[in-house]
Amino acid sequence: MKTRLVFLAVNASYAHTSLAAWLLKASADPADWDWHTVETAVPDAVPAVLERVCALKPDVLAVTFYLFNRPWLNEFLARFRALSPRTCVIGGGPEWLGDCTAFFEPRPLVDAGIRGEGELAFRQWLKVWDQPVEWNAIPGVVRMEQGRLRDPGEEAERPAPESIPSPYTRECVGFEKPFVLLETSRGCRGACLFCTSGRGGGVRVLPPERVRGDLQAIRAAGIREVRVLDRTFNDEDTRAVELLDLFRMECPDARFHLEIEPAAVSDRLVEAMCRFMPGRLHVEAGVQSLDEAVMRQVGRRGTSAQVVTGLQRLAGVWGLEVHVDLIAGLPGGTWDGVVQDLTLLTLLGVAEIQLEVLKLLPGTRLASIRQRWSLVASPVPPYEVMSTASFPAEDLWRAARLSRVVDGFHNQTALRPMVRKACMMIPGFWAGLADAVDADGGVREGLSLRKRFRLFKRFLEARQPDLVPELVAAWYRRDNGIDEELAPARMWRGPVPEGVRLVEGEAGVFDRVVMVDGPPARYYAFRVEPNGQRRLAAVFEGPSASI
C-alpha cells in the first residue's frame, strides 16, 4: 500500500491556486505516494477543513507557510496534531526563511521544515520521511532533535531550471480558477533590503521551450488570465521581448500580468507591448519610492527620473493597465516624501496606486539590520513596520489610513479622472482629502460608490467648488441613479425637449433620459445595448423644463 500524503494548500482567496502544491507533486515519485491536495482559503473555517483533512487519514501532511496564511495554519495545526499525533507534518514556504523557533516552541506545529526552494529537499525527505535520523543529511531541513532546535541556517539546494518538472499538462486539465500562475524564472539581480528575492543567488531562467510547452497547456485548457511569476520581468531586455512575443503567439486570447522595473523600461520593451491587443497586458511597476536617498538606502536600482520616464513610456502603450506600488516606512522615508510621491504618480495618470506600509519579512537583509534605522515592527504577521527613526508611529498610522483613501477614491474607475484633476488644482490634495475622509469616519468596509461621490463633493465644495459640476457629470454619465444630494435631478418622460443643444453623441430615440438641473440643465440620454446594458448615447444642454 502506498504511503498517503496530504498537501494542504491554504490560499489567500478562492481565486488563487497553490503553485507550490503543483511543483512539489511533480517532483515526488508517484510510485511511492498516494497524493491528495486539499485546497482551501483563509476565509474558510478551520474546523471544516480539519474534518476534510482528517477524513483522508494522512501518514504525511505537508503545508506551505506564507505571510497571509500563517495565523490560520497555526490554529489548524494545533488542532490537527492533537487529533492526529502520529501523522508526520512537514512545512515550508517563505515564512521559513527567517528564525524558525516559533514553529517548534512552545509546542511543535510541525516535525520538520524546509528552508528555501523545496523540490530537491522535499524529494529527498520523502524517501526517509519515517527515519528522522536521516533528515540531518538533507540541506535546508530544520527540526527538533533531542528537545533542541537543529537549524544549520542553510537553505535547500536550488534545482537547475531545466530539471524542474512542469506540472501544467496535468494540473490544467479541468482548471476552473480565474487565473493561473506561470513561473518563468527564479531569483532576482536586485538587492532590495526589504525583499526575500534580494537574498543573492542571481537569476535562473526557465528554458524557452519549457515556457512554450506550459503556455500550450494553458491555452489548451482555455485559461484566459496568466499571472507571470518573474521577479523583474524586464531584468534582461532581450529575454523580456522574446517572452512577450511568445505569450502573444501561444496564448493570443489570454491576459498577462507582469511585474516590471519601471527604471529599466526600454523602447524595445514598449514596442513589444504595443504588439498586443488592448487589454491583454496588465503591468505592476514596483516604484516603492521616488526619493533617491531612500532608493539608495534600500538598494533600488536606477534613479527617480528613470522611473518617471519608464512610467511615461508605459503610458504610451494603448490599452495597457499600469499598477504602481509605493511603500511607507522605508529606511529614511517620511510622511511628506510619501505624499509627494503619491502626488506625482497621480499626475502621471497610472491606472492604480497601491500604497502599503513596509513589512519586515523574515529572512530579508533589512530584518537583520533593522537597528540601523530604529525600525520597530510587529512580531506577528504581517510584520508591518510601526515606527522608524524618520517615520514615527503616528505618521505610519496616518499612512495606513491614506492607503485606504487612495484605494477608495483614486482606484475607483468612476472617480479617478476627478481625483487626478483635483490633485492638479488643489495644493496639499492628498493630505487634505485624507483628513476630510477621516473626519467623516474613514473608508469603511461597504462604503458605497454613492457615499464616496457625496464625500468627494463636500471636499470639493470646500476646496475647489468649480470642479463640482464635473463631479456631478461623472456620476450621471454612468447611469448610477438619481442622487438629490449630488444634484437635483429627475427622470425625463418623453422625447428630449425642443430648444436644448446636443453637446455629445447623436440625437434619436432613447430608452432613458435623466435631467440634471443647472443652469444649464443637462439631459443624459441612454440606450439599451443588445447585451441588456444601458449605454450613454447623447448629452444635451439647455434650460430646465418641467415635466
* SS3 per-residue string spanning 356-414: EECECCCCCHHHHCHHHHCCEECCCCCCEEEECCCCCHHHHHHHHHHHHHHHHHHCCCC
Q: How far apart are CA 89 and CA 129, in angstroms?
A: 10
Residue 160 near residue 206, CB atoms below 8 Å: no
Q: How far apart are CA 528 and CA 388, in angstroms?
A: 55
Would you write out the chain's pLDDT as a tens digit for each of its 547 residues? 789 999 999 999 999 999 999 999 998 877 789 999 999 999 999 999 999 999 999 999 999 999 999 999 999 999 999 999 999 999 999 999 999 999 999 999 999 999 999 999 999 999 999 999 999 999 999 999 988 999 998 999 999 999 999 999 999 999 999 999 999 999 888 889 999 886 767 899 999 999 999 999 999 999 999 999 998 899 999 999 999 999 999 999 999 999 999 999 999 999 999 999 999 999 999 999 999 999 999 999 899 999 999 999 999 999 999 999 999 999 999 999 999 999 999 999 999 999 999 999 999 999 999 999 999 999 999 999 999 999 999 999 999 999 999 999 999 999 999 999 999 999 999 999 999 999 998 888 778 999 999 999 999 999 999 999 999 999 999 888 899 999 999 998 888 888 899 999 999 899 999 999 888 899 999 999 888 888 999 999 988 766 4
pTM: 0.92
Residue 108, CB half-sphere, CA atoms under 13 Å: how many? 18
Per-residue pLDDT at 32: 82
Under DSSP, the state recorded for 20 is H
Q: How far apart are CA 293 and CA 36, in angstroms?
A: 50
Beta bridge pairs of residue 10:
40
3-state helix, strand, coil in the chain (%, to 5): 40, 20, 40
Alpha helices in 199-356 (DSSP H): 208-220, 237-250, 267-274, 292-298, 304-315, 335-348
Residue 457 near residue 469, CB atoms below 8 Å: no
CA 301 and chain centroid, separation? 22
Per-residue pLDDT at 462: 96
Extract the runs of DSSP E, i.e. beta strands, from 173-219: 180-183, 185-186, 204-205
Q: How far apart are CA 400 and CA 406, in angstroms?
A: 10
CA torsion sign, 288 to 179 to 184 to 197?
positive
Residue 404 near residue 360, CB atoms below 8 Å: no
Residue 385 near residue 366, CB atoms below 8 Å: no
Q: How far apart are CA 214 and CA 208, in angstroms?
A: 10
**Among 3.40.1180.10, 3.20.20.140, 3.20.20.70, 3.80.30.20, what is the CATH number of 161-395?**
3.80.30.20
Per-residue pLDDT at 545: 64
Residue 499 makes CB contacts below 8 A (sequence gap 6+) with: 542, 543
Per-residue pLDDT at 546: 60
Fold of 3-150: Rossmann fold (3.40.50)
Helix (H) or strand (E) holding 78: helix 70-83
Grid cell of 216 as nine digits: 500550450
Q: How far apart are CA 404 and CA 447, in angstroms?
A: 11
Q: How far apart are CA 233 and CA 259, in angstroms?
A: 6
Total residue length of the chain: 547
Beta bridge pairs of residue 528:
534
Q: How far apart are CA 3 and CA 87, in angstroms?
A: 11
Q: How far apart are CA 258 and CA 283, in angstroms?
A: 5
The residue whose grid cell reads 476646496 is 463
Among 83, 43, 84, 79, CA closest to 60: 84
Helix (H) or strand (E) holding 27: helix 19-27
Among 100, 102, 129, CA closest to 113: 100
Residue 183 near residue 229, CB atoms below 8 Å: yes
Per-residue pLDDT at 543: 81
